């Protein structure tokens, strides 16, 4: 078999960022690394691509093996190739990210590698360049949240305005005025108010809403005015 001459061996890996929302906070899923170097430290879900795998196949396999999660839609984020990112061998990592409703997948989560959800603002120290990978994932998430109807995939069929506000605040890492947020959201005309209330957070309770999916498909851009300058994010 002919090989390219005078070329240096290069390993290819996958790292998966799983963002999740539990109804109150935006979180990221981490595991304890199972081998050296940095064994036992917090890490993204990662592993090497096998010779007979494509990137997407490897990402799905690695995620299932390390967390038990399957059927999760993964989107390619970026390739990270700093020569010094892995102290053992030159390794290029192709990062993928996903956005899920934590409650929909909590029964799938395996305990073998001790996966744990961390609030987006309280992420522990990570191995290698994984903190940088998450930062880029957060930037991509903000961009998609501003321009695409992805946030409602994280919410249950009926939700409260405070839950929706918590999700936006988590993604953009900023506080939002309660009254102003509610006014802007309701002014879109894309939410349907329900008769029942969520009463675990307060005695008065908050009304549930559901998304008018038919109108939303045509007018989801109405949510762009909720976050100042959200349309400029990239």
- Residues 57, 22 within the same domain: yes
* DSSP helix/strand/coil, 172: helix
Query: H-helix or E-strand containing 159?
Result: strand 159-160
Indicate whether 91 belongs to any domain. Answer: yes
Burial of 161-173, coded b for 16+ CB within 10 Å and e otherwise, reads bbbbbbbbbbbbe
Last residue of a domain, one of 122, 147, 172: 147
152 contact partners, CB below 8 Å, separation of at least 6: 211, 216
Question: How many whole angstroms separate alpha carbon 153 and alpha carbon 141?
Answer: 13
The reply to whether the predicted model has a pTM over 0.75 is yes
pLDDT in tens, 134-169: 999 999 988 887 776 667 777 888 899 999 999 888
Q: How confident is the model at residue 201 (pLDDT cuts 50, 70, 90)?
A: low
Q: How confident is the model at residue 229 (pLDDT cuts 50, 70, 90)?
A: low
pLDDT in tens, 80-121: 999 999 999 999 999 999 989 898 888 898 888 889 999 999
Indicate whether 167 belongs to any domain. Answer: yes
Question: How many whole angstroms separate alpha carbon 221 and alpha carbon 230?
Answer: 11
Indicate whether 128 belongs to any domain. Answer: yes
- Residues 131, 26 within the same domain: yes
- Residues 24, 140 within the same domain: yes
CATH label of the domain that carries residue 197: 1.10.10.10
Domain of 214, in residue numbers? 151-232
- Residues 181, 195 within the same domain: yes
- Residues 96, 164 within the same domain: no
């Amino acid at each position: 078999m002919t090989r390219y001459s005078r070329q240096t061996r290069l390993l290819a890996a996958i790292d998966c960022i799983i963002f999740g929302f539990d109804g109150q906070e935006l979180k990221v899923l981490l595991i304890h690394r199972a081998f050296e170097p940095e064994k036992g430290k917090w890490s993204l879900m990662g592993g090497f691509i096998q010779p007979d795998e494509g990137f997407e196949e490897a990402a799905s396999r690695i995620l299932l093996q390390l967390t038990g999660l399957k059927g999760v839609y993964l989107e390619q984020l970026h390739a990270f190739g700093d020569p010094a990112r892995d102290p053992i061998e030159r390794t290029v990592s192709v990062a993928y990210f996903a956005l899920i409703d934590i409650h929909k997948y909590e029964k799938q989560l395996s305990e073998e590698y001790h996966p744990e959800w961390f609030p987006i603002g309280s992420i522990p120290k990570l191995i290698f360049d994984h903190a940088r990978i998450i930062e880029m994932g957060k930037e991509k998430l903000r961009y998609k949240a501003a321009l695409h109807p992805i946030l409602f995939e994280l919410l249950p069929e009926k939700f409260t305005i405070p839950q929706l506000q918590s999700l936006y605040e988590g993604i953009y890492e900023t506080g939002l005025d309660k009254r102003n947020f509610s006014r802007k959201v309701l002014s879109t005309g894309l939410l349907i108010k329900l008769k029942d209330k969520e009463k675990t957070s307060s005695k008065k309770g908050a009304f549930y809403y559901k998304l008018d999916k038919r109108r939303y498909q045509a007018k989801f851009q109405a949510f762009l005015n909720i976050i100042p300058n959200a349309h400029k994010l990239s």
